[in-house]
């Protein structure tokens, strides 16, 4: 699938990523050779494929990363390393035993092969038969779950009624895991050794003979394979009990043509392990007339030409659709079937229940039809990762036409994240028209079904009358509450921008008078939700109406059970208080009941946002508009944006260090230089300070930022960057 001209220009202008607070990456030179990867081996019609390339470079990058260097610089780690080296050289202890084992020539051959397997490329590939298998498995599982809710007899009846057509999509999908190998002859020798070990080691075991008979070696022009085929003939049916044998015969009758083949082999210098319902998978690899590298969706990767490539992923249009259908198709009908199966046992009148069951099925079918109307126009997904100075950057092109995300230029709520939050997730969304239709339909039908369930299931007459009354009086109130949210509150929030913000600048010195004193102030995690507001007055009017609806709900409870709620009681209204340019709505009595200074559950209504949270400090900061410091460099004021996430992992480590230190202080009796326990295995036990030094090393985890953009044709592009510190 080719990008049109404007998208090409946009892609090329943003392919070089960086973050303002990070060091910018170097300009990317020529591309890695994509023809030397599994893209040129896997067929074009693959369901999915994921590969890690240049593994040797990746291991070296990890070994030389800031994180590993900092961990290795910790004195305790250096001390342990010296002891390990001494045991290795002296051949003592478990380390010495490991050295002796590794010196065995046979083991050395395996180690050499494993080293090669992890030194170049490793991939996993799923054949197109995954698409039917995943959908068939989920649908069959739902059918079984619905039947199980009806009891053992229903399950037995289902097993007897099943036909081969019902289980046509229950099979083992073809999966291949591959490793690129340089020393082809050595890998083949190891396969020969494996075959010899199996045949010699099991030849005198009677139970293993059926397996050895099915162990087949195949040689082909550029490789060889060793395959074990498992089928129904290998099951020792004569050893089964009567009930087990009957179940086995029924399963064999339904699945008589199924088999499982496990293959290990070499082809074109690639060591592969294949699991499939058919044979000859490894021999077929690379023989398809068109390979995945020829897929039009891969054009975006070719145009990007990333150097220092580290990983590529692909999912086909058919796989994306099959996954969606497996989860969304007949969703409400499956829920209805499980509910009906469980509810049927509660009713005395089978005739009346059957009438109600038919109505449930009609409603569930209508709802499922609306869900199907929301099915996206699916396309393939292509992603890749490549190394930059100090980290990695990634792209994901999802050619599925998105119905839920919507671009903003930029997300306005990002101006209310605080200058330097520890983490955030912001998104701009929209609702398909079917979403509201489903909500309205549920509001219309749910009271009738709930009332019917109460009338048919409740045995006690007094309890039945009370429950029916509660449903009759309460359903209209709940419906009004939802309609206030949908028709008044949501429109007042305007652009549908929402952001989750995590911070930790709120410090506490104690947990109250009854708690032990803290050795130092501790940061308290602060979590808040910020939403856009287009109509400030309309938002508050909608909130007032919600409280009025809650009062009506209290009246319903009082009418159903006069002793449940005191006469004259109403839902307390929050206290309104002007704080800067915002109005804070909170319950002082709740804040006063918690012995944490600064704790105050509230929502604060600013000029164009509303913030929900419990930290006075954080909410005051969020409602004030200010520029977010930590944002990707490509996120300019006019950059169309549907979502952004950011995480400062280093700051999280620093924030929670005080908690780790406090815990260690209590564990060590206040002496951080004291070992935390007795020495074992000849190695010293770390002290509290050793643990803190290791903890401080984790600040090298650095920062991560990502954005998602909806393209003109509805597809999405996600960009991300991670840089160590």
- What's the pLDDT tens digit per position in 434-461? 999 999 999 999 998 888 888 777 778 8
Q: Which residue positions in the chain have pLDDT lower than 70?
A: 1-32, 341-350, 352, 681
CA distance 717 to 395: 7
pLDDT at position 637: 83
Three-state secondary structure call for residue 53: coil
Cα gap 21→632, rounded to integer Å: 9
| pLDDT at 382 (0 to 100) | 98
Q: Is the dihedral of CA 488, 493, 496, 499 positive or negative?
A: negative
Q: Which two tokens stand for residue 178?
A: 């591959």
pLDDT at 105: 86
Question: Is the C-alpha dihedral spanning 499, 505, 511, 512 positive or negative?
Answer: negative
pLDDT at 232: 83
The rounded distance, in Å, linking the Cα atoms of 362 and 367 is 9
Q: Where are the beta strands (DSSP E) in 574-631?
A: 575-579, 582-586, 599-605, 609-615
Residue 679 has a pLDDT of: 78
Contacts of 154 (CB under 8 A, 6+ apart): 147, 148, 341
State the Cα angle at 630 between 625 and 634, rounded to 5°: 105
CB 474 within 8 A of CB 506: no
Cα Rg of the chain (Å, integer): 32
pLDDT value, residue 37: 95
Residues 6+ apart with CB under 8 A from 77: 71, 694
What is the per-residue DSSP string for 247-300? Answer: HHHHHHHHSTT--EEEEEEEETTEEEEEEESSS-HHHHTT-SSSBGGGSGGGHH
Q: How far apart are CA 18 and CA 703, in angstroms?
A: 11
Tokens 């032990």 locate to 516
| pLDDT for res 93 | 81
How big is the CA angle at 636 (ends 606 and 497), to the nearest 5 degrees?
35
Neighbours of 666 (CB within 10 A): 11
What pLDDT score was predicted for residue 94?
Answer: 84
328/324 Cα distance (integer angstroms): 6
How far apart (Å, rounded) are the C-alpha atoms in residues 386 and 299?
17
pLDDT at 611: 96
As a whole number of angstroms, the distance between CA 208 and CA 594 comes to: 68
Helices 184-202 and 105-117 pack at an angle, to 10 degrees, of 130
Q: How far is it, in rounded angstroms, from Cα 710 to Cα 430?
A: 12
**Is 539:492 a contact under the CB 8 Å cutoff?**
yes
* Cut 0.85: pTM above it: yes
538-553 confidence digits (pLDDT tens): 999 999 999 999 999 9
Query: CA–CA separation, 529 vs 427, rounded Å?
Result: 12
- Please state the domain extents for the chain: 1-26+396-430+496-534+603-725, 55-119, 174-290
């Amino acid at each position: 699938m080719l990008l049109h001209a404007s998208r090409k220009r946009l892609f090329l202008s943003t392919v070089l990523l960086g973050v303002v607070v990070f060091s910018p990456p170097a300009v990317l030179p020529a591309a890695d050779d994509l023809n030397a990867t599994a893209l040129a081996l896997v067929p074009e019609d693959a369901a999915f494929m994921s590969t890690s390339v240049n593994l040797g470079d990746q291991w070296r990058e990890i070994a030389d990363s800031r994180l590993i260097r900092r961990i290795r610089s910790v004195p305790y780690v250096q001390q342990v390393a010296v002891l390990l080296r001494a045991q290795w050289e002296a051949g003592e202890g478990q380390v010495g035993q490991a050295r002796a084992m590794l010196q065995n020539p046979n083991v050395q051959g395996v180690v050499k092969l494993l080293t090669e397997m992890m030194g170049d490329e490793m991939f996993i590939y799923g054949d197109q038969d995954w698409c039917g298998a995943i959908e068939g498995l989920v649908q069959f599982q739902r059918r079984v779950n619905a039947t199980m809710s009806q009891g053992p007899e229903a399950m037995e009846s289902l097993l007897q009624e099943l036909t081969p057509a019902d289980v046509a999509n229950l099979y083992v999908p073809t999966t291949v895991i591959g490793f690129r190998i340089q020393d082809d002859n050595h890998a083949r020798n190891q396969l020969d050794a494996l075959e010899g070990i199996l045949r010699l080691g099991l030849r005198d075991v009677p139970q293993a003979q059926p397996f050895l008979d099915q162990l087949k070696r195949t040689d082909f022009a550029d490789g060889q394979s060793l395959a074990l085929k498992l089928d129904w003939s290998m099951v020792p049916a004569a050893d089964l009990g009567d009930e087990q044998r009957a179940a086995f015969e029924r399963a064999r009758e339904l699945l008589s043509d199924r088999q499982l083949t496990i293959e290990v082999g070499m082809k074109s210098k690639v060591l592969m392990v294949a699991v499939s319902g058919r044979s000859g998978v490894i021999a077929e690899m690379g023989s398809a007339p068109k390979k995945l590298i020829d897929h039009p969706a891969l054009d975006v990767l070719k145009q990007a030409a990333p150097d220092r490539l580290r990983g590529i992923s692909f999912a086909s249009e058919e796989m994306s659709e099959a996954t969606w259908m497996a989860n969304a198709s007949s969703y409400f009908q499956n829920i209805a079937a499980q509910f009906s199966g469980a509810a049927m046992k509660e009713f005395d009148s089978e005739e009346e229940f059957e009438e109600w069951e038919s109505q449930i099925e009609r409603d569930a079918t209508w709802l499922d039809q609306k869900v199907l109307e929301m099915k996206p126009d699916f396309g393939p997904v292509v992603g890749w990762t490549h190394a930059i100075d100090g980290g990695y950057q990634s792209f994901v092109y999802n050619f599925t036409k998105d119905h839920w995300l919507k671009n903003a230029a930029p997300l306005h709520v990002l101006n209310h994240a605080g200058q330097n939050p520890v983490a955030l997730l912001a998104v701009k969304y929209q609702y398909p028209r079917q979403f509201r239709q489903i909500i309205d339909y549920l509001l219309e039908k749910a009271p009738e079904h709930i009332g019917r369930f109460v009338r048919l299931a409740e045995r006690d007459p007094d309890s039945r009358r009370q429950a029916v009354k509660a449903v009759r009086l309460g359903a209209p109130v709940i419906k009004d509450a939802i309609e206030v949210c949908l028709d008044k509150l949501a429109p007042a929030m305007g652009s549908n921008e929402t952001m989750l913000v995590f911070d930790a600048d709120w410090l506490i010195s104690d947990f109250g008078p009854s708690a032990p004193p803290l050795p130092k102030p501790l940061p308290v995690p602060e979590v808040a939700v910020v939403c856009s507001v287009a109509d400030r007055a309309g938002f508050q009017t909608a909130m007032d109406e919600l409280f009025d609806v809650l009062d009506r709900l209290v009246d319903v409870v009082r009418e159903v059970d006069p002793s449940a709620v005191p006469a004259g009681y109403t839902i307390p209204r929050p206290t309104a208080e002007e704080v800067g340019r915002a109005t804070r709505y909170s319950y002082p009595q709740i804040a006063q009941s918690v012995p944490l200074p600064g704790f105050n559950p509230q929502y604060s209504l600013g000029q164009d946002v509303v913030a929900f949270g419990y930290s006075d400090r954080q909410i005051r900061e969020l409602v004030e508009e200010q520029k977010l410091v930590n944002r990707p460099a490509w996120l300019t004021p006019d950059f169309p944006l549907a979502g952004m996430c950011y995480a400062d992992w280093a700051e999280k480590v620093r924030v929670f260090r005080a908690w780790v230190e406090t815990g260690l202080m209590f564990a060590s009796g206040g002496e951080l230089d004291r070992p935390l326990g007795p020495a074992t295995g000849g190695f010293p036990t770390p002290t509290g300070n050793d643990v803190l030094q290791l903890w401080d090393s984790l600040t090298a985890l650095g920062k991560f930022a990502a954005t998602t953009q909806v393209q003109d044709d509805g597809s999405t592009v996600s960009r991300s960057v991670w840089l160590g510190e």
